[in-house]
Amino acid sequence: MSREFPRSIPASAPLVLACAILPLTLAGIQAVLGRAPRLWAVEPAAWFALAWLGALPVLRGARRSAARTIGAALVLGLGAVALFLYAGPALRALSPSPAWLPELAPPAFLLLAWLWASTFGPPSRRAFLAWGGVLGLLRCLELGLNLAVLDRPPLASVLGCPDSLACVLVFCLCAALSARGEDRPGRAGLWLFAILPGLAACFSALALFTAGWCLLFFGPGRPRLRIPLFVLCLILTAGALILPLDQHTVLTRLEQSRQWLAVFQALGESPGAWLAGLPLDRALPQDASPDLLSLLQAIGRAPAMRLSELHAFWPRVIASWGLPGPLLLLVLLAVPVLRRPTAFGAGAYAACLSLGLTTPLFHSGNAAVVLVLALASASRVDSRAAADYDSNAPLVALDGRNAPE
């Protein structure tokens, strides 16, 4: 694979889709239709389209004629459209709807990211920082419009799920991390000051806290510069916890503890489920938190909860697949980190462990694909330094000094 691949446009295409095209598309649909689009339909369609575009150069690389390449691309495109438009809705229309259908999303997104990185190479660290900065600025702009013009709750977002946006921003932020002796990407500090405000605008307390300790333990610069950033993230975390938000967000946060309690209670009632998982169509116990249940019933919200309704990733995957499922996933994600340990890879892997406690993580295509590409990029940083860093220009560190070339 050419050394220029990590700098190529195809390598960074998933980042462009996750950080700019898909959020702006969702915002455009909202502006045209006057209502929020169905994220479960728009996001997979966007990744389907990207997978089809990624297959085109592979088909062309088989030394086929132009006509045969176009024909194969049309057949592949029609198959993808038929699968998305007809197979998915037909399965959901079944009564009862297959409970295993939503659980196919994480392996599908992970496979797409792995195939993309294997075909085009991973994006450069600079690409993660740049597109993460773009997403951060978009979220800040949206927050400003919500407060000053549209009179909407601060957490309301037409760019996508705020938790998923926060995951993407944290993984992009990890590209600025560097341990002692590692090269630092150029102008990392400047991009951090675009990513951090966007992360604060997502009001995700766990994401802010995760970004803080990643910068504290793995961040670039000297400790006297990393500690203030950590303190800033702690202040933003406290603000995200105490600021009055919309009713849906408050209920989601209240239900997170109930979800964890319900999962462990259900697993405790069926000891064998720790290995094989719970039946996917099983309703979780309702009496895990009686006080919260009475609150939900008072406002007319259904207290019943199934595995497909769990918001947090780790309790959902433990309940669905048992302990072997998440352990296998963690081992697979650890392979690139252990192959060539870097602060970028360690930070992204640790952030994955943390963010899955309260966010959908791999059930969101944006977060899943960006994480896998980040781990792939981190594992090749040292061997592809010429592609990831501009060694002919001075690097701006967080402390304002120029790093050595």
Q: Which tens digits make up the pLDDT trace of 234-259? A: 999 988 888 766 666 666 666 777 77
Give me the pLDDT at residue 402, please. Answer: 39
Q: For the chain, what's the residue count?
A: 405
- Is pLDDT of 337 > 60? yes
- Is pLDDT of 199 > 90? yes
CB of 221 closer than 8 Å to CB of 397: yes
Q: How confident is the model at residue 13 (pLDDT cuts 50, 70, 90)?
A: very high
H or E element in which residue 6 lies? none
Top pLDDT among 77 and 232 is at 232
Cα within 13 Å of Cα(18), Cβ side: 30
Closest CA to 134 of 63, 65, 194: 194
Please state, rounded to an integer, the average pLDDT across all residues of the chain. Answer: 79
Q: Which of 107-121, 130-144, 249-263, 364-378 has the lowest mean pLDDT?
A: 249-263
Model pTM score:
0.84
Top pLDDT among 72 and 353 is at 353
What average pLDDT does range 155-167 have in this prediction?
86
Top pLDDT among 98 and 291 is at 98
Give me the pLDDT at residue 389, please. Answer: 38
299 CB contacts (<8 Å, ≥6 apart)?
247, 251
**How many Å apart are CA 367 and CA 359, to the nearest integer?**
10
- Is pLDDT of 5 > 90? no
CB of 268 closer than 8 Å to CB of 316: no
Give me the pLDDT at residue 250, please. Answer: 64
Give me the pLDDT at residue 287, please. Answer: 59
Top pLDDT among 360 and 98 is at 360
- Is pLDDT of 66 > 50? yes
Q: How confident is the model at residue 282 (pLDDT cuts 50, 70, 90)?
A: confident
